[in-house]
Amino acid sequence: MTRAVTRLAPAKINLALAVAGKRDDGYHELRSVFATIDLSDRVRVASAPRLEVRIAPDVGAARGDDLASRAVRALAGATGHEPAAFVHIRKRIPVAAGLGGGSSDAAAVLRALATIWQREDVDLVALGATIGSDVPFFVTGARAAFVAGRGERIDPLPEPPDLHLVIVRSPWRLATEDVFGALNDDDRGAAGAVDALRDAFVRRGVTPQLLRDLAQNDLRGPAERLCPAIADARVRAAERGIALSLTGSGPTLFAVADDHRDALRLVRILRRIGLSAHAHTTAG
């Protein structure tokens, strides 16, 4: 019997994101193209007599209310197990950044614990949706997907080529709920870009230029109103010829590079204007 499982939990980028109307349940209807990137937390789950979650470095989540603890309780509730497990998370993905780190950790816990408890028959995508809107995407293990609904409708897309991205981290944190709350009707307009990008993935026609053209996000307006430093960084990068786009509800920004050399060039320019830029690829 398996007693411990270690999994990498990758971060995601929303290459394009459109928000449609507000639903009766208070959530918003989304359309987005998600891709994992080569920045991961490491999640180890082991059998234990009680629930214990250790996150290093500490991310300041209320004890027992982090998404990993919720994942253990959700799978226990669905299977009749005691909600008992030892979870250790080594964090590398910045928190509350729009990179899906906490959701990816929760998905890794669900998959690891389903293996340990030998309950791989459980619908982990549906269970993931009860924990958070980004969890179902990570549960599928897809490297890229068209995601719709609240986040629970996942159509995996053909493997993208390794796309070179520059991620611009931010010292600020934005709560997803606040960003959705600040959304106006005028902010909407990315739906066409999302659908065009999904179609490009399907016909395997994704290029860096196409990504730059279609990297639109309806949450950019509200995120920038709540955190003007995002707009400031974007304007300063644009003055140097670099288009920065928002991932998720922010505040992390990203640029699409032509190749690895180009990514390093963009990193140098962005660091010179005081931004925390790092080269990554979409290989999750």
- Looking only at the bridges linking them, the beta strands covering 4-22 and 28-46 are antiparallel
In angstroms, give the least distance from the CB of 29 to ligand C5P: 7
Give, as one character, the DSSP assignment of residue 186: G
Cβ distance 196 to 205 under 8 Å? no
Cβ proximity to ligand C5P, 28 vs 164, nearer residue: 28
Residues 158-177 that bind ligand C5P (CB under 6 A): 176-177
Told to judge if 12 belongs to the known catalytic residues of this protein, a careful annotator would answer: yes
Peptide bond into 136 cis (omega under 30): no
- Asked if 133 is part of the footprint of ligand C5P (rule: CB under 6 A), the reply reads yes
Q: Which of 44, 88, 92, 150 binds ligand C5P (CB under 6 A)?
A: 150
Q: Which of 7, 12, 28, 198 binds ligand C5P (CB under 6 A)?
A: 28
Q: Let me know if 191 is exposed, middle or buried by CB neighbors in 10 A (0-12, 13-18, 19+).
A: middle
Question: What is d(CA 72, CA 52) in angstroms, rounded to the nearest whole number?
Answer: 10
Residues 206-245 touching ligand C5P, rule: CB under 6 A, are none
Q: Which stretch binds ligand C5P (CB under 6 A): 69-77, 130-138, 157-165, 210-218?
A: 130-138
Nearer of residues 129 and 266 to ligand C5P, judged by Cβ: 129
CB-nearer residue toward ligand C5P: 28 or 234: 28
Binding footprint of ligand C5P, residue count (CB under 6 A): 11
Q: Which stretch binds ligand C5P (CB under 6 A): 26-34, 93-101, 112-120, 272-280?
A: 26-34
Q: At its nearest, how many Å lie between ligand C5P and the CB of residue 239? A: 32
What's the chain's length in residues?
284
Stretch (H or E) spanning 239 = helix 228-239
Q: How far apart, in Å, are the Cα atoms of 145 and each of 6, 140, 188?
A: 24, 9, 21
Name which of 105 and 134 has its Cβ closer to ligand C5P: 134
- Tell me the C-alpha distance between 18 and 232, whole Å: 22
Out of 15, 17, 30, 96, point to the residue binding ligand C5P (CB under 6 A).
Answer: 30
Task: Give residue for tokens 């928190």.
Answer: 95
- Which residue do the tokens 């600040």 mark? 182
Q: Which of 94, 101, 128, 151 binds ligand C5P (CB under 6 A)?
A: 151
The two three-digit tokens of residue 14, written as one number = 């929303």
Contact 230, 152 (CB under 8 A): no
In the set 12, 41, 105, 218, the catalytic residue is: 12
Query: Shortest CA distance to 97 belongs to which of 188, 30, 37, 171?
Result: 171
Interface positions, 179-198, toward ligand C5P (CB under 6 A): 180
Is 134 labeled as catalytic in the residue annotation? yes
Catalytic residue, from 41, 66, 105, 134: name it. 134
What residue has token string 């729009």?
Answer: 98
Write out the residues near ligand C5P by the rule CB under 6 A. Answer: 27-28, 30, 132-134, 150-151, 176-177, 180
Please give the positions annotated as active site.
Answer: 12, 134
